């Protein structure tokens, strides 16, 4: 068989089997991956030095080759996913250690001190009754009911004062919000 004859025969086989094999491979893996697998099988067929595959054995050969390539693909993908998962976990751990742990205790203490000073300064700007309620609520850990009893106010009035104070402080401490959250 000449090279030209073999090329024509290969082209006929490709046109005949490619759609069937792609559909078969799609049973095991995604459609776009199935196309790649079938292409690889045909590439292997083209590279074979013995051109003696008869039409009767070619069908079984191609389906078995596609099945084996799909299994190899799935194995490789599983190993790759496991590796990426392990690497991803390690990267998240390293990122977490780098960004969310105290690297410099002196810097953290200074930042905490500065933040506390800013909070105290913002609290001092609150109206007298609001400041008193705020300090009882947050510093002395009193409930709204207890504060209402102490100050001879209604519980809803105390809750409104707490809400208004928090709203005011959020505005004044906006640039420190991320530091507070961290």
Q: Is the pLDDT of residue 165 over 80?
A: yes
Q: Is the pLDDT of residue 138 over 80?
A: yes
From the options 3.40.640.10, 3.40.50.150, 1.10.10.10, 3.20.20.70, give the CATH code of 105-181. 1.10.10.10
The CA-CA-CA angle for residues 6, 12, 17, to 5°, reads: 120
Q: Closest Cα partner for 65 from 49, 47, 35, 42?
A: 42
- Using a 10 angstrom Cβ sphere, with 0-12 exposed, 13-18 middle and 19 or more buried, the burial of residue 38 is buried
The CA-CA-CA angle for residues 133, 138, 139, to 5°, reads: 100
- What pLDDT sits at residue 101? 54
Q: Nearest 10 degrees: CA dihedral of 144, 119, 169, 125?
A: 90
- What pLDDT sits at residue 65? 93
- What pLDDT sits at residue 4? 76
Q: What is the C-alpha separation between 36 and 174, in angstroms, rounded?
A: 54
Helix or strand holding residue 150 (H, E) = helix 144-151
Segments making up each domain of the chain, as ranges: 3-97, 105-181
How far is the first Cα of the chain from the last one, in angstroms, to the nearest whole number? 75
Q: Which residues contact 135 (CB under 8 A, 6 or more apart)?
A: 123
Query: What's the fold here for domain 3-97?
Result: Rna Polymerase Sigma Factor; Chain: A (1.10.1740)
Query: Where does the pLDDT of residue 105 fall: very low under 50, low under 70, confident under 90, or very high at 90 and above?
Result: low
Q: Which of 81-95, 125-139, 163-177 has the highest mean pLDDT?
A: 125-139
Q: Is the pLDDT of residue 80 over 80?
A: yes
Q: What is the pLDDT of residues 40-74, one digit of tens each?
A: 999 988 887 666 677 778 889 999 999 999 999 99
- If you average pLDDT over residues 151-176, what whole number do you get? 85
- If you average pLDDT over residues 102-127, what whole number do you get? 73
Q: What is the pLDDT of residues 90-102, one digit of tens each?
A: 887 777 666 665 5
- If you average pLDDT over residues 149-177, what whole number do you get? 85
């Amino acid at each position: 068989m000449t090279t030209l004859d073999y090329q024509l025969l290969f082209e006929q086989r490709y046109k005949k089997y490619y759609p069937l094999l792609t559909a078969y491979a799609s049973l095991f893996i995604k459609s776009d991956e199935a196309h790649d697998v079938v292409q690889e099988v045909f590439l292997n067929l083209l590279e074979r030095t013995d051109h003696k595959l008869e039409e009767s054995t070619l069908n079984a050969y191609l389906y078995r080759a596609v099945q084996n390539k799909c299994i190899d693909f799935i194995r490789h993908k599983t190993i790759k996913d496991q590796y990426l998962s392990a690497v991803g976990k390690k990267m998240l751990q390293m990122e977490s250690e780098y960004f969310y742990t105290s690297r410099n205790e002196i810097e953290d203490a200074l930042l905490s001190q500065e933040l506390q000073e800013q909070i105290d300064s913002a609290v001092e700007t609150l109206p007298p009754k609001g400041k008193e309620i705020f300090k009882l609520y947050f510093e002395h850990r009193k409930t709204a009911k207890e504060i209402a009893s102490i100050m001879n106010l209604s519980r809803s009035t105390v809750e409104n004062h707490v809400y208004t104070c928090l709203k005011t402080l959020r505005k004044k401490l906006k640039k420190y919000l991320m530091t507070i959250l961290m």
